[in-house]
Chain A
């Protein structure tokens, strides 16, 4: 672990008035995993784009394997053995795995492509690093985790000895992410050098040998993993001590939402199997589970976008049939979707339009949109929920993820909903934004709202929820009290071992 394979020296890059990278130096040894930790906008991706030749640095120099790397030339970076795995994959969904891997490696003027040789090479790499994948599968048919494996294979196929991964777990489920990090460690053990970009403290601590923290374009710290802690890293990353808020004790009120035997069938598959829960005013009920176990159908049925196949739902004590989205909102239910970019907002539309779209009946008179009221509503959300980076009439696409989430939270909470259905409310946000979102949810709880928190993040659920149920394969476990639950018990619940998890936890609620 002594031989330096990569040396980034004094790199600076300015965009307009912002200094995205300010005199950053970084080295990477053979077989080492370095994590580049920082909040969104800290300059991590810029630095890696400079390394890979997408940007030309204003000053500074990069050497790979002792040779200086010409700036601004991605081809040269690939030839020097640097591979990049992008956050948003640069693969073609209509091609097979093998075709995707080969793309760009052969001259366009070759009369025939050497598919057989390529296949042999791909399989050899696949075996060596334990990256199992069917070379003839159509990429579009693969899961996101498998697609990422293909992206890594593609880099290795180009003989990469230094691999840069941009937020590799952002799109993965927890289990996929664990597998991914095992693979990374394996690759490092075989002599590859890795840099991965992240803002998640857990994975950085668990995987990296060395951690470099960026903040506001500057390198603020460099730590060996064994010589630091999550708390220290969080503080370095944000620049101040961040405290995620925790719920304080409270007495829940009456039951406002009650589900009894909810089922949902979609195309012959049972997505929800007899789900029952009770949600009280002034409490947070956490629904934990590995994503894909029925969270999206549950949120859809409660939020008005999916029609349940069976079971009873009682809202404020009254049995209700299927409620449309408009009726759900009219009833005082706020909704935070699991996928903010895809479902939560329409990026090309203005902030004010996004603020009122799900409340059109209120903001339209005789079919005409009350633009003035809409702009005022958006202004109140922007001011009240500290949404930065846009005015009511600017497009939502320009907002950062955290500010987008504040907008979505704001358009719900400003109406003081009686019930809030929050699916993965802090997913993909940086530390500061997570704390802000959590604070808002707890504020709603204090104000008497009933919150159904659907989340994969155990820390989040432990901090916010009063009671916890696990969703596994479309079934919901019995609830446990968050005060007595421990990580082992929750782990068993998420694995579906409910009886096992109840042992020693006599105080099931």
Chain B
């Protein structure tokens, strides 16, 4: 048995790939649920109703999909240009703390329609800066950005931890390490009343479409793809490699920083070191599940969010550890990676 590279990737196969991957992951997760002693189909039913079955469930799932879409886009954009940004988690935190600090100490008095856009820009800028450092190291000294972006996550989170226990500590928080909150004008309006779902959803969808258009229609999109696929060929064709990667890094880091900013002004209003439940890392999974397609990222983020929210509910009512969600998401990533392989290769005997 050998693997042979496919000449063409049939469109149907490309679309079916993530669906098959998810189905395989769910089947395997079903086995684990059975091992935990719960009836499998009932448990899956509970996951679905837990994620979509009520107004509360649905809004919660959508609210969770917002940061996942943004970090998923961050990863997808970077990976397409072969810039391995593993640092979305740190960029998210830096974006979040920037928003809290700027709102509390600089822009607090401004009305919402001025303050919110400025805050989002500040958050995105913070994320950009955190990714431009490792990119500079790569362009200047050929330092592998996988290592630097990954390790900068810890630096960023510890930096945030220092701030929220120091200069940005909320004096009203009874000693809890949390940051000063953004002013009430800075909070994004809710999309659905009495829920956690806010206008960040619309922002995330618009950005997904925007990223898609940039990648598929613009000269920059073509150049960044060329730079990722074959740097030597891109240079020969006159693609400014450094400049292209800097732009890619700004988009990717900016989106990750924005994810943190939106989480603060949309949901939390303040920053703790538990702000992100691993959104930065899950974003990588989301991007891979979407095969790095920006519109697919939206669907992948929705699936991942639904798994987390639904499995939580299922775990509570059926006494199955809710870690099953993490396991399922991880399994779908693994099966997606195998599935992607089979969209590119066929088996020959």
Contacts and interface: CB of A to CB of B under 8 A. Distances in A.
A279 interface: no
A207 to B, nearest CB: 32
A360 B236 contact: no
Chief secondary structure at chain A's binding surface: mixed
Interface in A321-352: 324-326, 329, 335, 337, 339, 342-349
Given A346-B229, A349-B229, A398-B7, A368 B236 contact: no
Nearest to B213: A368
A369 interface: yes
A367 B220 contact: yes
A369 B237 contact: no
Contacts of A326: 238
A141 interface: no
B233 A343 contact: yes
Nearest to A338: B236
B223 interface: yes
Nearest to B2: A54
A371 B236 CA distance: 21
A305 interface: yes
A369 B233 contact: no
Contacts of A99: none
A357 B226 contact: yes
B238 A346 contact: no
A329 B238 contact: yes
Nearest to B238: A325
A364 B226 contact: no
B194 interface: no
B128 to A, nearest CB: 20
B8 to A, nearest CB: 8
B233 A304 contact: no
A39 interface: no
Contacts of B220: 367
Contacts of A371: 217
Contact of B222 (A305, A347, A348, A357): A357
A342 B232 contact: yes
Nearest to A324: B238
B230 interface: yes
B218 A360 contact: no
- Of B230, B232, B237, which is in contact with the most chain A CB atoms at under 10 Å from its CB? B237
Contacts of A357: 222-223, 226, 234, 237-239
A415 to B, nearest CB: 14
Interface in B186-235: 217-223, 225-226, 229-230, 232-235
Nearest to B217: A368
A345 B237 CA distance: 9
Interface string B84-100: 00000000000000000
A360 B239 CA distance: 9
Contacts of A368: 217-219
A260 B230 CA distance: 33
Interface in A23-66: 54
Contacts of B222: 353, 357, 360, 369
A325 B220 CA distance: 16
Contact of B218 (A324, A339, A367): A367
B129 to A, nearest CB: 25
Contacts of A360: 219, 222-223, 238
Interface size of A as a range: 20 to 34
A497 interface: no
A364 B219 CA distance: 6
Interface size of B as a range: 20 to 34
B79 to A, nearest CB: 14
Chief secondary structure at chain B's binding surface: helix
Interface in A269-308: 303-305
A345 B233 contact: yes
A358 B225 contact: no
Given A368-B219, A369-B218, A398-B7, A337 B236 contact: yes
A344 B218 contact: no
B218 A343 contact: no
A345 B220 CA distance: 18
A346 B219 contact: no
A86 B95 CA distance: 52
A271 B229 CA distance: 28
Contacts of B232: 339, 342-343
A347 B235 contact: no
Nearest to B233: A346
B276 to A, nearest CB: 34
A184 to B, nearest CB: 30
Contacts of B225: 349
A350 to B, nearest CB: 10
Given A304-B238, A325-B237, A337-B236, A346 B226 contact: yes
A394 B8 CA distance: 8
Given A345-B233, A346-B226, A369 B238 contact: no
Contacts of A329: 238
A113 to B, nearest CB: 28
Contacts of B2: 54
Contacts of B233: 342-346
Given A357-B237, A369-B222, A346 B230 contact: yes
Nearest to A371: B217
A324 B236 CA distance: 10
Nearest to A374: B222
Nearest to A56: B349
Interface string B12-31: 00000000000000000000
Contacts of B218: 364, 367-369
Contacts of B230: 342, 345-348
Interface string A460-486: 000000000000000000000000000
Contacts of A369: 217-219, 221-222
A428 to B, nearest CB: 17
Contacts of B217: 368-369, 371
Interface string A379-399: 000000000000000100010
10 contacts: A303-B236, A304-B238, A335-B236, A337-B236, A343-B232, A346-B226, A346-B230, A347-B230, A357-B238, A398-B7
Interface of B: 2, 7-8, 217-223, 225-226, 229-230, 232-239
Given A346-B230, A394-B8, 20 more contacts: A305-B236, A335-B236, A343-B232, A343-B235, A345-B230, A346-B229, A347-B230, A357-B223, A357-B237, A358-B236, A360-B219, A360-B222, A364-B218, A367-B218, A367-B219, A367-B220, A368-B217, A369-B219, A369-B221, A371-B217
* The 9 A-B residue pairs with the shortest CB-CB distance in the complex, in nearest-first order: A325-B238, A358-B237, A364-B219, A343-B236, A357-B237, A346-B230, A346-B233, A348-B229, A360-B219
